[in-house]
Structure 1
Amino acid sequence: MDENTTYNEGIEPDIPVIPPSEIKELEEEALKEKRNAETSDSTEESVIYWQGEDRVPEKISVLKETLKEVMGYGVSFDVIIREMTFAGRPAALLFLNGFTNDVIVSEILTRLTYLTPEDVRDGHALNDMMKAYIPHVQVEQVSKLSKVINDVLCGICALFIEGASTAILLDTRKYPVRGLEEPAVERVVRGARDGFTETIVTNINLVRRRVRDPGLHVETMKVGRRTKTDVSLLFIDDIADRVQVEAIRRKIKQLDLEGLPLGDKQLEEAIVNKGWHPYPLVRYSERPDVVASHLLEGRIVVMVDTSPSVMIMPTTFFDLCQHAEENRQTAFMGTYLRWIRFGGIFASMFLLPLWMLLVVHPELKPPALDILGPQENAKIPIIGQFLIVEFGVDLLRLAAVHTPTPLASAMGLIAAILIGDIAVKTGLFVNEVVLYMAVAAIGMFATPSYELGLANRMVRLVLLVATALFGVKGFVIGSTLLILSLTTHRSYNSSYLWPFIPFSAKAMGEILFRKPLLTSTRRPALNKTRDHTKMGTEMNSKGRH
């Protein structure tokens, strides 16, 4: 007989009693197997798996055991439970360290410590505390533990009282916030210098500061089983097309993703641009004034928490070619800047293929254009030179992103002097290739939409190769396929090339000319707005005259 085997008094001596140490080991082994077997897809499923039901437990000891398994209490250093006694009853405050405003929480806890058992009723302690003794604005009583955990992970505090099957949620969030700065991509000479940050509440406030309309609706949804990312849908109810609003809202709610760690770009791929088409179907902006103006035109805005840029839908090719600077100048100068920008975009797409066409077929070049070159030959074919320079420009662009600021000027000197000048002098490139490639690159960087500039660059590459291989036929067929591809590209059932295809003379005039404010009295027909006019009756009549 094992010397460690013991017997209890009053039972048969042949029935052994398992030692407490072995019982503990068996319990730990069973707990380990249960942890390994968990396959929960949501917080609710996880709570039910460990607790049997999705309710706030009345005992704080049971609550702590559940939180230990569901959200890593005791393992994650930032998951904190502060146990105290209020009105003679054990209580616990659950919160995440770093997301909580310590000053507000300390003031609430200080007030609750003054309570005596006579201040609250038996069985109604939590309800009495919430209604009479918690001086805070955003307070909610919740009975589902899964909702409590999800809200705590968003930065909300949860207060539990022994014997109560509900919890009090206190919105005391304090997110890390970057200071308001002017967006690097959408700079203007004159205008507002504030831009969106990575905090969705701040971004919404920046828009509401500019659009103080009671019809501005902000609907918030959570996307991602694990990330629970906040996504907000903004629109002016009496202007925006409700069919489009419902279509976007439905697509967002139907998403069943693990999360959106990369923010708005992943959401765009999930609800808008699901294929391999290079051209963007949404306009990104980091300027609150641009977003406000598009809301007043009937557009729909989607904001994603942790993203400093927002999506504007629907959009067209010509929308992506416009910049806020044009509206910060007079109508004449705004039109001039717009035409210069259109010229740069055209050059970024067609300048190199057209010059390549004249090189492949010199008979097409008028005598007056002999100055276009090439004046001399190089060791590498023209198409090879263009491809090398194209990839070189992209490589330099990527290097500029990853180069520290103090070294950026040195890298520019290396690119301009060592690579470009020496490559020409050694006979690898001809001067015209470097010149025209520089003009095309400037046109690409002058494109207001970064995504549109990249897409135009891919079109330029395809047209270059097609022209080099098939000459005039390659250029014509490639350009035709581009127009067809953009025509069939739809942005929420709206034509991507509107107002060029289908053609609308009045709307095309609005695109080509930056009209004075008082003469632009109607919203774009593309948005299918419920209210078409921008001004009152009196201002409309003045605008017509």
Structure 2
Amino acid sequence: MGTDLKDTSAGKERREGRSRTGGDKIDARDLMTDEELGLKETKDIPDNLEDVKRALEEKAGLTVSFDLVFREMEFGTKRAAFFYANGFAKDTVLTDIIMRLSLLSREQLVPDTLGSFLTKYVAHIQVQPEDDFDKAVDFALIGSTVMFIENERTALVIDAKNFPVRSIEEPDLERVVRGSRDGFVETLMTNVTLVRRRIRDPRLKLELMTVGDRTKTHVCIGYINDIADMKLVESLRDKIGKVKIDGIPLGDKQLEEAIIGKGWNPYPSVRYSERPDVVCSHMLEGHVIIFADTSPSVMILPTTFFHLVQHVEEYRQTPFVGSYLRWVRFLGIFASLFLLPLWFLLVNNPELKPQGLEFLGPQKEGKLPMLFQFLTVELGLDLMRMAAVHTPSPLTVAMGLVAAILVGDIAVKTGLFINEVILYMAVAAVGMFATPSYELGLANRLVRMALLILVAVFKIPGLVIGTTVWLIALSVTRSYNTPYMWPFIPFHAKALVSILFRRPILASKNRPSITKSNDNTRQPIR
């Protein structure tokens, strides 16, 4: 009730501004609150360009934001105005449109001015009418140009965008020796085009949604209509539609937390990929993908633990070589998890060493406790990794030499650390970096640190209990109602064989059952 009776500061400023100009006549709009103006002026498009300009000043900050342009012109005695954000407008296209319109006569625009502009004279491939002022402003703020026409309550939205975009390059995290070199960028339209280029199926669906009251970020759900589980698609569509937040400037990661809501679980519940070929391969298996504008990576759902340990390089080689590479990668991931806790356990309990492995023990004692050495080196590796990310490229080599020689070598020579700690930590670090999923590698690192602490405190029971709790936690985890450890738990023999060995492409006749695809056959009978 207070807002109905109390005057707003903006309305007061409007009246004071008119009184300062010397005008005696008071417009009814000057007595309205901002809420009333929003209801009356921002839903319907005014038929007077002066009113349109005044509404844009209040709604979008025209004359305050330097990049917003309101270009008034006259075509065939009909006044019109173009409203756009200067950085988004494709000036060559708009110039061609304006040149064509400037040649019009009055007889060509009457009696149906709007229809004539729409169907005959605005020469662009994508033009649509819009009679909602709020939506027209939103179109302008995402890059389109809005054409307001005198005495018309409908505007024309011209999709002449020119987004700032970097060139298409191979993703740093998913490089291959042989294969395509294109990767996703920060522009949604470019990303969906890269997918459409590979899947030329009319049943490929790309649904557009908007998330964020302020950022109004475009989100796209992609799936193949007769393959994907439509219940999953409907569930994603419903959850994305219910996200109430002011914005997702960080794109896909914030969107994932909003629709998945996994809390403090460090393990990734979706797979991210920046490669169009990887995304298309998953779509053909029945997965659903989610694009977020301004993000160069794409979410793939549903995702299991074993999806995260596979790499496209395995499918770029022969099945035998691909299987070998996969086993090497599995070995590296296992080493990144259990090598340090096992060695630490054997060092603390020499009686557990198998025959012939006596050399595993440290040759000398360090000045610091061994657990403290491990944790210090773990934190040091994370610190060097973060420093490498933030160090300018010309200085990364120098930074690596400083970290390896001045820190690592001198720390061993002074006796603070022992050689074996540096050696096994380096092997574990290589295994972590060999993990295809960056998020999975970080989660495994936290588990390794927890196992080290448990081994130091409880010895053998600590390792057994810690590993058991880790397996149980992963087994009960679900990625969008999908068992995270499938096909190991629940056990599926045929699918597990496909995980352990890279099978020939023609040997995979069916899609994975975990996606619950409508069309389970990968090689349809014609």
Please indicate the TM-score interval, normalised by the length of the shorter structure: over 0.9
CA deviation profile, 1:179-199 (whole Å, cap 9, x unmatched): 110100000000000111111
Structure 1 counterpart of 2:248: 260
**Matching of residues 23-62 of structure 1 within 5 Å:** 48-49=38-39, 51-52=40-41, 54-62=43-51
Corresponding residue for residue 325 of structure 1: 313
Normalised to the residue count of structure 2, the TM-score between the two structures is 0.93
- Aligned match of 1:139 in 127, 130, 133? 127
Displacement of 1:526 after TM fit? 0.6
Deviation at 1:276, TM superposition (A): 0.4
CA apart distance, 1:20: 5.0
Q: Pick the aligned partner of 2:385 from 370, 388, 397.
A: 397
SS in 1 for 2:208: strand
| Equivalent runs, 1:171-210 vs 2, <5 Å | 171-210=159-198
Query: Cα deviation per residue 1:309-331 (whole Å; 9 max; x = unaligned)?
Result: 11011111010000000000000
- After superposition, the C-alpha distances for 1:8-39 in whole angstroms (9 at most, x for unaligned) are xxxxxxxxxxx9549679999x97x98xx86x
C-alpha offsets along residues 410-458 of structure 1, whole Å, 9 cap, x if unaligned? 1111111111111111111111100000000000001000000000000
- The 5 A counterparts of 1:292-303 are 292-303=280-291
- The whole-number CA distance in structure 2 between the counterparts of 1:132 and 1:22 is 43
Structure 2 residue aligned with 1:440 = 428
- Find the aligned partners of 2:267 and 2:260 in 1 and give their Cα distance: 12
1:64 matches 2:53: yes
Tell me: CA distance 1:108–1:239, structure 2 relative to 1, closer, same or farther (3 Å).
same
Structure 1 distance, partners of 2:230, 2:244, is: 24
8 Å CA contact 1:273–1:281 kept in 2: the answer is no
Query: Which is worse superposed, 257-266 or 127-136?
Result: 127-136
Aligned to 1:426: 414
User: 1:242: Cα distance to partner?
Assistant: 0.5
Are residues 227 and 362 of structure 1, via their aligned partners in 2, closer, same or farther at CA, if it must alter by over 3 Å?
same
Q: Which amino acid aligns with 2:202?
A: P
What is the CA distance between 1:398 and its match in structure 2?
0.4
Structure 2 CA distance for partners of 1:518 and 1:46, relative to 1, 3 Å? farther
Secondary structure in structure 1 of the residue aligned to 2:472: helix
Instruction: For residue 121 of structure 1, report the CA deviation from its aligned partner.
Output: 2.1
C-alpha contact 2:41 2:55 (8 A) present in aligned 1? no
- List per-residue Cα deviations over 1:17-65 (Å, max 9, x = no partner): xx9549679999x97x98xx86xxxxxx79625x445110001101111
Aligned residues of 2:42 and 2:133 also touching (Cα < 8 A): no
Residue 117 of structure 1 and its aligned partner are, at CA, apart by 1.5
Does structure 2 retain, via aligned residues, the 8 Å contact 1:46–1:70?
A: no
Partner SS state of residue 420, structure 1: helix
Counterpart code for 1:167 = A
Q: Confirm or deny that 1:449 pairs with 2:437.
A: yes
Deviation at 1:273, TM superposition (A): 3.7
Pairing 1:334–2:322 present: yes
The amino acid of 2:514's aligned partner reads L
Q: What letter corresponds to residue 180 of structure 1 in structure 2?
A: I
Tell me, in whole angstroms, the C-alpha distance in 1 between the residues paired with 2:254 and 2:151. 44
For residue 58 of structure 2, give the secondary structure of its aligned residue in structure 1. Answer: helix
SS in 1 for 2:175: coil
Give 2:3's aligned residue: none
Residue 240 (structure 2) pairs with residue 248 (structure 1)? no
Paired residue secondary structure (2:269): coil
Contact 1:523 1:529 in 2 (8 A): yes
Which aligned pairs between 1:101-140 and structure 2 lie closer than 5 A?
101-122=90-111, 124-140=112-128
Unaligned runs of 5+ in 1: 1-18, 39-44, 539-545
Give the superposition deviation at 1:366. 1.7
Listed as ranges, the gaps of 5+ residues in structure 2 are 1-17
What corresponds to 1:7 in structure 2? none
Q: What amino acid sits opposite 2:123 in the alignment?
A: P
* Native 8 Å contact 2:42 2:59 kept in 1: no
Contact (CA 8 Å) 2:42, 2:134: kept in 1 or not?
no
Aligned equivalents of 1:168, 1:378: Cα separation in 2: 75
Q: Structure 1 residue aligned with 2:144, among 153, 156, 161?
A: 156
Say which of 191, 195, 206 aligns to 1:218: 206
Alignment of 1:359-378 (within 5 A): 359-378=347-366
Structure-2 separation of matches of 1:378 and 1:27? 86
- The amino acid of 2:74's aligned partner reads T
CA distance in 1, matches of 2:253, 2:78: 49
Amino acid at match of 1:296: L
Measure the CA separation in 1 of the matches of 2:258 and 2:36: 26
Task: Please say if 1:470 is aligned against 2:444.
Answer: no
In 2, are the aligned partners of 1:47 and 1:70 still within 8 Å (CA)?
no
Q: Which residue of 1 aligns with 2:6?
A: none
Q: SS at 1:537's partner residue?
A: coil
1:380 Cα deviation after fit = 0.9
* Aligned length, in residue pairs: 508
Distance 1:255 1:101 in 2: 32
Which whole-Å CA distance do the structure 1 matches of 2:514 and 2:470 have between them?
A: 22
Deviation at 1:215, TM superposition (A): 0.8
Task: State the match for 1:501 in structure 2.
Answer: 489
Q: Distance in 1 between matches of 2:124 and 2:341?
A: 65
User: Higher Cα Rg: structure 1 or 2?
Assistant: 1
**What is the rounded CA distance, in whole Å, between the counterparts of 2:24 and 2:287 in structure 1?**
62
Instruction: Determine if contact 2:347/2:360 at 8 Å carries over to the other structure.
Output: no
1:122-149 CA-to-partner distances (Å, cap 9, x unmatched) read 3x21122111212211111111000100
Equivalent in the alignment of 2:14: none
Counterpart residue identity of residue 438, structure 2: Y
